[in-house]
Amino acid sequence: MHGVNVPLVIELTILVLAIFLGVEVISKVPTMLHTPLMSGTNAIHGIVVVGAILVAGRADADTLTLVVGFVAVALGTANVVGGFVVTDRMLEMFKPRAPRQGE
Amino acid sequence: MSRTTTDLLYLVTIVTFILALRFLSSPKRARQGNLLGAAGMALAIGVTLAQPDLENFVPMLVAMAFGAVVGVVGARSVKMTAMPQMVALFNGVGGGAVALIALVEFHNLAPAGLVAEDAVAILLSALIGSVSFSGSLIAFAKLQELIGGRPIVYQGQQLVNAAVLVVALFLGGAIVAGAESDALVVGLILAALAFGVLFVLPIGGADMPVVISLLNAFTGLAASAAGFLLHNNVLIVAGALVGASGTLLTILMGRAMNRSLTNVLFGAFGAVTTAGSGGAGADGRSVRSTTAEDLAIMLGYARKVVFVPGYGLAVAQAQHDVRALAELLEAKGVSVLYGIHPVAGRMPGHMNVLLAEANVPYDQLKEMDEINPELPQTDVVVILGANDVVNPAARTDPSSPIYGMPIIDVDRAAAVVVVKRSMSPGFAGIDNPLFYDPKTSMLFADAKAALEQVAASLKTL
Angle, nearest 10°, between helix axes A34-44 and B208-230?
A: 30
| CA–CA dist B256, B27 (Å, integer) | 22
Please report the pLDDT score of residue A22 as a whole number: 94
Q: Tell me whether residues A45 and B353 touch, CB distance under 8 A.
A: no
The residues that bridge with B382 in the sheet, in sequence order, are: B307, B417
Q: Tell me whether residues B230 and A38 touch, CB distance under 8 A.
A: no
Residues 6 or more apart in contact with residue B297 via CB below 8 angstroms: B457, B461
Share of chain B above pLDDT 70, in %: 94
pLDDT at A4 over 70: no
pLDDT at B135 over 50: yes
**Closest residue to A18, CB basis, from B241, B342, B356:** B241
CA distance to partner chain B, nearest, from residue A48 (Å): 6
pLDDT at A6 over 70: no
> What would you measure as the largest C-alpha separation in chain B, in angstroms?
83
Which residues of chain A lie closer than 8 angstroms to B248, CB-CB? Answer: 22-23, 26-27
pLDDT at B295 over 90: yes
- Phi/psi of residue B346, nearest 5 degrees: -110, 10
Cβ–Cβ contact B175 with A under 8 A: no
| CA–CA dist B191, B189 (Å, integer) | 6
> What would you measure as the largest C-alpha separation in chain A, in angstroms?
66
pLDDT at B270 over 50: no
CA distance to partner chain B, nearest, from residue A71 (Å): 7
Which among B135, B81, B2 is positioned nearest to B318, based on CA atoms? B81
Q: Please report which confidence band the pLDDT of residue B208 belongs to, taking 50, 70 and 90 as the band edges.
A: confident
Please report the pLDDT score of residue B264 as a whole number: 78
Residues 6 or more apart in contact with residue B30 via CB below 8 angstroms: A33, A36, A91, A94, B23, B24
Give the H or E element holding residue B384.
Answer: strand B380-384
Q: Please report which confidence band the pLDDT of residue B126 belongs to, taking 50, 70 and 90 as the band edges.
A: very high
Q: Tell me whether residues B60 and A19 touch, CB distance under 8 A.
A: no
Q: Tell me whether residues A19 and B243 touch, CB distance under 8 A.
A: yes
Q: Tell me whether residues A74 and B59 touch, CB distance under 8 A.
A: no
ipTM: 0.90
Q: Is B388 a catalytic residue?
A: yes
Which residues of chain B lie closer than 8 angstroms to A4, CB-CB? Answer: 3, 231
Q: Tell me whether residues A48 and B54 touch, CB distance under 8 A.
A: no
Q: Which of B12-21, B45-54, B200-209, B325-334 has the lowest mean pLDDT?
A: B200-209
**Radius of gyration of chain A, Cα coordinates, nearest whole angstrom:** 19
Q: Tell me whether residues B72 and A21 touch, CB distance under 8 A.
A: no
Average pLDDT for B104-130: 92
Q: How many CB pairs under 8 A join A and B?
A: 388
Cβ–Cβ contact B353 with A under 8 A: yes
pLDDT at B68 over 60: yes
Please report the pLDDT score of residue B400 as a whole number: 81
| CA–CA dist A30, B362 (Å, integer) | 12
Which among B78, B82, B185 is positioned nearest to B139, based on CA atoms? B82
Which among B19, B33, B132, B86 is positioned nearest to B353, based on CA atoms? B86
| CA–CA dist B3, B9 (Å, integer) | 10
| CA–CA dist B212, B201 (Å, integer) | 13
pLDDT at B145 over 80: yes
pLDDT at B71 over 80: yes
Q: What is the pLDDT of residues B442-451, one digit of tens each?
A: 999 888 999 9
The residues that bridge with B307 in the sheet, in sequence order, are: B338, B382
| CA–CA dist A84, A90 (Å, integer) | 10
Residues 6 or more apart in contact with residue B8 via CB below 8 angstroms: none
Average pLDDT for B237-263: 88
pLDDT at B106 over 50: yes
Contact assessment for residue A83 and residue B343, using Cβ atoms and an 8 Å cutoff: no
Give the H or E element holding residue B238.
Answer: helix B233-256
Share of chain B above pLDDT 90, in %: 60
| CA–CA dist B461, B444 (Å, integer) | 22
Q: Tell me whether residues A80 and B182 touch, CB distance under 8 A.
A: no
Angle, nearest 10°, between helix axes B83-109 and A48-56?
A: 40
B380-384/B304-309 β-pairing:
parallel
Q: Tell me whether residues A45 and B76 touch, CB distance under 8 A.
A: no
Please report the pLDDT score of residue B39 as a whole number: 97
Please report the pLDDT score of residue B50 as a whole number: 93
Cβ–Cβ contact B158 with A under 8 A: no
Cβ–Cβ contact B240 with A under 8 A: yes
Average pLDDT for B372-387: 92
Per the document, the length of chain B is 461
Which residues of chain B lie closer than 8 angstroms to A11, CB-CB? Answer: 227-228, 231, 233, 236
Average pLDDT for B225-237: 95
Which residues of chain B lie closer than 8 angstroms to A83, CB-CB? Answer: 71, 75, 90
| CA–CA dist B167, B422 (Å, integer) | 48
| Distance from the Cα of residue A2 to its chain's centroid | 23
Amino acid at A59: A
Average pLDDT for A55-67: 89
Which among B391, B382, B395, B387 is positioned nearest to B424, based on CA atoms? B387
Average pLDDT for B53-60: 90
Please report the pLDDT score of residue B429 as a whole number: 65
Q: Please report which confidence band the pLDDT of residue B280 belongs to, taking 50, 70 and 90 as the band edges.
A: very low
Q: Tell me whether residues A88 and B235 touch, CB distance under 8 A.
A: no
Please report the pLDDT score of residue B384 as a whole number: 92
pLDDT at B271 over 50: no
Residues 6 or more apart in contact with residue B161 via CB below 8 angstroms: B195, B198, B199
**Closest residue to A66, CB basis, from B25, B33, B56:** B56
Which among A49, A69, A35 is positioned nearest to B216, based on CA atoms? A35
Average pLDDT for B152-164: 85
Q: Select the more confidently predicted residue: A69 or B423.
A: A69
Residues 6 or more apart in contact with residue B182 via CB below 8 angstroms: A64, B103, B106, B107, B110
Torsion B450-B382-B441-B257 (CA) sign? positive
| CA–CA dist A43, B17 (Å, integer) | 10
Mean pLDDT of chain A: 88
* CB < 8 Å from A in window 68-87 of B: 68, 70-72, 74-76, 78, 80, 83-84, 86-87
Please report the pLDDT score of residue B67 as a whole number: 96
| CA–CA dist B386, B91 (Å, integer) | 28
| CA–CA dist B238, B243 (Å, integer) | 9
Cβ–Cβ contact B165 with A under 8 A: no
Average pLDDT for B134-157: 86
**Triad B29, B34, B36: Cα angle to 5°:** 95
E-only strand ranges, B71-181: none
Please report the pLDDT score of residue B279 as a whole number: 39
Mean pLDDT of chain B: 88
Cβ–Cβ contact B2 with A under 8 A: no
- Phi/psi of residue B339, nearest 5 degrees: -100, 120
Which residues of chain A lie closer than 8 angstroms to B213, CB-CB? Answer: 38
Please report the pLDDT score of residue B278 as a whole number: 39
CA distance to partner chain A, nearest, from residue B294 (Å): 28
Average pLDDT for A84-97: 90
| CA–CA dist B240, B197 (Å, integer) | 24
Q: Considering the candidates B118, B207, B321, B388, report the single residue annotated as catalytic.
A: B388
Q: What is the pLDDT of residues B311-370, one digit of tens each?
A: 888 878 899 999 999 999 999 999 999 999 988 877 778 888 899 989 999 889 998 999
| CA–CA dist B184, B190 (Å, integer) | 10
Contact assessment for residue B366 and residue B328, using Cβ atoms and an 8 Å cutoff: no
Please report the pLDDT score of residue B18 as a whole number: 96
Please report the pLDDT score of residue B420 as a whole number: 86
| CA–CA dist B459, B461 (Å, integer) | 6
Instruction: Order the strands of the B335-340 sheet from edge to edge.
Output: B365-367, B335-340, B304-309, B380-384, B415-420, B440-444
Cβ–Cβ contact B112 with A under 8 A: no
Q: Tell me whether residues A93 and B357 touch, CB distance under 8 A.
A: yes
Which residues of chain A lie closer than 8 angstroms to B228, CB-CB? Answer: 8, 11, 15
